[in-house]
């Protein structure tokens, strides 16, 4: 780095986190203090600002910006959803002759756009670049663009200057991180494109030393408040500390993948035992497979994990390259965390190509049944820089380019299996249902630790939802589709007949992974009918259950029904015969036409000698969705 003579006067750097004043999801002060913590980007930039600068930090979610406040340089951290507001702020400061630097994810992936609204942009992680930006500003040679050429080394990392954050404004200011990057490649996520597809880790001793310093700083502040306040104020503060309600009573690791390395976490968590702190992090669901590690996390003070559950649909997880999440293990993984007193906060995304209106009720039932303490719902959003954005661009599915709506709460693309309006309404509906009093009560009944803060967090989320979200409605078809979805066991394995459409490609096996019937219902994309896809193995028992579900769907939806056998792997003769039960078929007839698609092509040998109660039952339907 080039060295310059010290300035004759102290310069002022103003660092800003934008937040639109009219955003309906803007939190009140009490909501922020209960459920929100700040981003670390600006405290980190403050730490890497050269000596001789007075740094001021303004989070617009907390306080207003004084555009006439004296400053020499302005830096703004920009996420895509805050880009329009960041550009407005930049324009105001530039009118006053101030130089403005934009950095963060959005300028990194949309540099040409961002450069239209500022003097300079910083692309990529900024720690190694920022001192040079400041030095160039001092010399009057600041460039238009600074681009990271390698990821910063996390050894000897400078601790974020969290003391610059507004006090008593967040759940905690005690935020730190241990890792950067993510070796997973989820289609909708910008973490690996921005921070890299490998994880870098800070040395454990440095993390522990930072946490000790911050803990002592917090303790000194609390002692000062208790000693200088009245007896009543001291007692109130003591009770808040005891109940875990006082700001900074919990440490938040803001890593996108805190448990990326088992040996590293074991070393860190062992070292944290002596600190006697409470902490939370973002972790993978499969941490819940490892009892020893979950116990160690709990013993070291872990009280909360945010987990990227995303979806309870295997198809949706596979679609977004998140097949490492295994739906069949979710309930046991959640129970593992709960058994060790750890609160589970799943992140849920609605709007994958495999999602239809049934996803909202199914997800809600799962979360309530498993008593998750909190959950964060988001609408799938094609953020710039992600593979999802590139795919939707190619497919011409993005219809809204207003970055302010790229916040996970607005639909900006055309979903595959529902309308944009249905996706938006379902998002609203799910939020209201999750934070209804009956749901809150049921989900928290099992809590034995930190019950008061968990209840108050739910209450504040409820307040936010009621104020910001319309109630939302689901169409009557949503429940019909939900009831059609099933994964049923297969019991009979004798005399299995292979699907003739696949007979040249495979042999019949009875491997455990094949011994189920997967039923998936959806509204057909091109004509008004329910289309039921079958996969796996059909036996007599699950064929009977299939017919029962068809009967219920016909009576509720009063739409024609097409059952597709094309992708079924195998079936027993008795199962094929059960499909023609005359009583069941008669019960469907008043409400809908029923058609079995590709049944003759797939299992013709099993149809020999059968009398069809309806001659049109096997009438071929073209599947052109």
pLDDT confidence of residue 234: 64
Does the residue 40 lie in any domain? Answer: yes
pLDDT tens track for 575-616 = 999 999 888 889 998 999 999 999 999 998 888 877 777 767
With respect to residue 538, please indicate whether it lies within any of the assigned structural domains: yes
* Count of H-run helices and E-run strands, the chain: 23, 21
240-248, long-range: CB within 8 Å, 24+ apart, which pairs?
243/452, 243/453, 244/278, 244/450, 244/452, 244/453, 245/452, 245/453, 245/456, 246/222, 247/33, 247/167, 247/168, 247/169, 247/170, 247/171, 247/172, 247/173, 248/172, 248/173, 248/174, 248/218
User: How much is the pLDDT for 119?
Assistant: 98
Judge whether 165 and 57 are in contact, CB under 8 Å.
yes
Q: Give tens-digit pLDDT for 341-363.
A: 999 999 999 999 999 999 999 99
Mind listing the pLDDT tens digit for each residue in 5-62?
Answer: 444 578 999 999 999 988 999 999 999 988 998 999 999 999 999 999 999 999 999 9
Structure tokens at 81: 């959803």
In whole angstroms, how large is the CA radius of gyration of the chain? 28
Read off the pLDDT of residues 176-190 as tens digits, 9 standing for 90 and up.
999 999 988 899 999
User: What is the pLDDT of the chain when averaged over all its residues?
Assistant: 90
Would you place residue 522 in the very low, low, confident or very high pLDDT band (cuts 50, 70, 90)?
confident
What tokens were used for 519?
């039923």
User: Which parts of 48-103 fold into alpha helices (H)?
Assistant: 83-95
Q: What is the pLDDT of residues 407-418, one digit of tens each?
A: 999 999 999 999
Per the structure, the complete domain to which residue 103 belongs is given by 11-147
Query: Does 3 score more than 50 pLDDT?
Result: no
Q: Compute the CA torsion angle 112, 113, 115, 118 (nearest 10 deg).
A: -170
Residue 429 lies in a domain: yes
d(CA 363, CA 369): 10
pLDDT exceeds cutoff 70 at 475:
yes
Q: 256-277 b/e with 16+ CB inside 10 Å = b?
A: bbbbbbeebbbbbbeebeeeeb
Q: How far apart are CA 486 and CA 490, in angstroms?
A: 12
Within a domain: 162: no
**Which of 370, 320, 372, 325 has its CA nearest to residue 346?**
372
One domain, residues 414 and 271:
yes
What's the rounded Cα separation, in Å, for the pair 1 and 131?
Answer: 8
pTM of the predicted structure, to 2 decimals: 0.88
Q: b or e along 325-354 (b: 16 or more beta carbons within 10 Å of the residue's beta carbon)?
A: bebeebeebbebbbebebbbbbebbbbbeb
Q: In what order do the strands lie in the sheet with 376-379?
A: 175-176, 251-253, 279-283, 302-310, 343-350, 376-379
Q: How far is CA 21 from CA 18, 62, 469, in A?
A: 9, 10, 17
Residue 311 lies in a domain: yes
In the chain, % of residues over pLDDT 90: 73
Separation CA 245–CA 440 (nearest Å): 19
Are 221 and 242 members of one domain? yes
- Nearest CA to 21 out of 104, 82, 76, 77 is that of 82
> Is 165 within the bounds of a domain?
no
CB 369 within 8 A of CB 344: no
DSSP 77: E
- CB 310 within 8 Å of CB 349: yes
Structure tokens belonging to residue 182: 């993510």
Residue 219: partners with Cβ closer than 8 Å, 6 or more residues away: none
pLDDT tens-digit readout, 426-454? 999 999 999 999 999 999 987 777 888 89
Residues 195 and 317 both lie in one domain? yes
- If asked whether residues 465 and 585 sit together in one domain, one would say no
Q: What is the pLDDT of residue 233?
A: 64
pLDDT number for residue 396: 97
3-state secondary structure of 529: strand
Same domain assignment for residues 326 and 215: yes
| 530-581 tens-digit pLDDT | 999 999 999 999 999 999 999 999 999 988 999 999 999 999 999 999 999 8
pLDDT tens profile 93-147:
999 999 999 999 999 999 999 999 999 999 999 999 999 999 999 999 999 999 9
Tell me the three state secondary structure of residue 583: helix
Q: What is the pLDDT of residue 224?
A: 66
Instruction: Kindly tell me if the per-residue pLDDT of 625 is higher than 50.
Output: no
Domain boundary (474, 491, 512) is at 474
Is 161 inside any structural domain? Answer: no
Confidence band of 493 (pLDDT split at 50, 70, 90): confident
Domain check: are 101 and 128 in the same one?
Answer: yes
- The single-letter DSSP state of residue 413 is B
Same domain? For 284 and 204 the reply is yes
Residue 156: inside a domain? no
pLDDT confidence tier of residue 222, bands split at 50, 70 and 90: low
Q: Which residues are bridge partners to 50 per DSSP?
A: none
Please, which residues bridge with residue 145 across strands?
Answer: 121
Structure tokens at 565: 């056998």
Strand partners, 246: none
Q: What is the pLDDT of residue 108?
A: 97
> Cα(241)–Cα(222) distance, rounded to whole angstroms?
9
Look up the CATH number of the domain holding residue 59.
3.40.50.2300
CATH of the domain at 562: 3.30.750.24
Evaluate the CA torsion angle 152, 158, 159, 161 in order and state its sign: negative
User: Helix/strand/coil (H, E, C) string of 174-228?
Assistant: CEECCEECCCCCCCCCCHHHHHCCCCEECCHHHHHHHHHHHHHHHHHHHHHHHHH
Question: Which of the residue ranges 219-228, 366-375, 502-511 has the most confident prediction, judged by mean pLDDT?
Answer: 366-375
State the Cα–Cα distance between residues 1 and 137, nearest whole angstrom.
Answer: 14
Shared-domain flag, residues 141 and 251: no
Reply yes or no on whether the pLDDT at 296 is more than 60. yes
Number of domains in the chain: 3
- Residue 9 contacts by C-beta under 8 Å, 6 or more apart in sequence? none
- DSSP class of residue 538? E
How does pLDDT run across 201-219, given as a tens digit for each residue?
999 999 999 999 988 887 7
Q: Within this chain, do residues 509 and 394 fall inside the same structural domain, yes or no?
A: no
Residue at which a domain ends, from 113, 147, 181: 147
Neighbours of 70 (CB within 10 A): 9
438 and 454 within one domain: yes
3-state secondary structure of 468: helix
**Are 48 and 69 found together in one domain?**
yes
| Residue 132 backbone zone (phi > 0: left; psi -120 to 50: alpha; other: beta) | alpha
Q: How far apart are CA 612 and CA 266, in angstroms?
A: 65
The verdict on 192 and 95 lying in the same domain is no
């Amino acid at each position: 780095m080039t060295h310059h003579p010290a300035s004759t006067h102290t310069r002022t750097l103003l660092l800003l986190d934008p937040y639109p004043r009219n955003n309906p999801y803007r939190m009140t002060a009490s909501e922020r203090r209960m459920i929100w913590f700040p981003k670390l980007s600006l405290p980190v930039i403050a730490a890497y600002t050269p000596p001789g600068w007075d740094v001021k930090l303004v989070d617009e979610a907390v306080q207003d910006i004084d555009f006439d406040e004296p400053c020499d340089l302005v830096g703004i951290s920009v996420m895509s959803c805050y880009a329009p507001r960041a550009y407005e702020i930049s324009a105001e400061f530039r009118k006053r002759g101030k130089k403005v630097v934009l950095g963060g994810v959005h300028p990194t992936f949309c540099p040409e756009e961002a450069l239209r609204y500022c003097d300079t942009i910083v692309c990529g992680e900024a720690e190694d670049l920022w001192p040079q930006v400041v030095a160039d500003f001092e010399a009057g040679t600041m460039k238009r663009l600074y681009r990271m050429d390698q990821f910063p080394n996390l050894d000897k990392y400078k601790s974020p200057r969290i003391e610059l954050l507004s006090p008593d404004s967040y759940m905690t200011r005690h935020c730190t991180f241990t890792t950067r990057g993510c070796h997973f490649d989820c289609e909708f996520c910008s973490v690996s494109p921005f921070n890299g597809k490998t994880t870098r880790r800070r040395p454990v001793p440095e993390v522990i030393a930072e946490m000790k310093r911050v803990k002592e700083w917090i303790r000194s502040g609390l002692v000062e408040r208790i000693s200088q306040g009245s007896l009543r104020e001291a007692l109130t503060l003591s009770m808040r500390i005891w109940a875990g309600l006082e700001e900074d009573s919990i440490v938040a690791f803001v890593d996108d993948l805190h448990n990326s390395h088992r040996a590293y976490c074991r070393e860190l968590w062992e070292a944290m035992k002596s600190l006697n702190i409470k902490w939370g992090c973002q972790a993978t669901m499969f941490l819940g497979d490892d009892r020893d590690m979950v116990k160690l996390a709990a013993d070291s003070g872990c009280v909360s994990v945010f987990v990227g559950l995303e979806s309870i649909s295997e198809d949706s997880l596979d679609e977004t390259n998140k097949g490492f999440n295994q739906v069949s293990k979710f309930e046991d993984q959640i129970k593992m965390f709960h058994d060790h007193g750890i609160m589970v906060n799943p992140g849920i995304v609605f709007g994958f190509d495999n999602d239809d209106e049934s996803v909202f009720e199914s997800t809600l039932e799962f979360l309530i049944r498993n008593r998750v303490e909190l959950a964060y719902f988001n609408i799938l959003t094609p953020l710039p820089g992600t593979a999802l954005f590139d795919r939707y661009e190619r497919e011409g599915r993005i219809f809204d380019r207003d970055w302010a709506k790229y916040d996970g709460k607005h639909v900006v693309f055309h979903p595959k299996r529902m309308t944009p309006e249905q996706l938006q309404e379902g998002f609203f509906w799910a939020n209201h249902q999750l934070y209804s009093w009956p749901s809150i009560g049921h989900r928290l009944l099992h809590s034995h630790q930190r019950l008061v803060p968990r209840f108050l967090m739910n209450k504040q989320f409820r307040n936010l939802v009621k104020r910001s979200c319309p109630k939302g409605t689901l169409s009557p078809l949503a429940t019909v589709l939900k009831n059609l979805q099933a994964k049923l066991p297969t019991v009979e394995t004798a005399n299995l007949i292979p699907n003739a459409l696949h007979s040249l490609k495979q042999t019949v096996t009875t491997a455990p992974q094949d011994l189920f019937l997967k039923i998936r219902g959806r509204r057909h994309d091109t004509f008004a009918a329910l289309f039921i896809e079958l996969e796996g193995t059909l036996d007599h028992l699950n064929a009977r259950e299939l017919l029962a579900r068809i009967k219920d769907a016909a009576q509720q939806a009063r739409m024609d029904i097409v059952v597709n056998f094309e992708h079924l792997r195998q079936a027993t003769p008795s199962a094929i015969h059960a499909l023609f039960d005359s009583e069941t078929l008669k019960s469907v007839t008043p409400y809908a036409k029923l058609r079995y698609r590709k049944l003759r092509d797939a299992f013709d040998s099993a149809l020999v000698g059968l009398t069809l109660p309806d001659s049109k039952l096997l009438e071929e339907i073209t599947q052109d969705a």
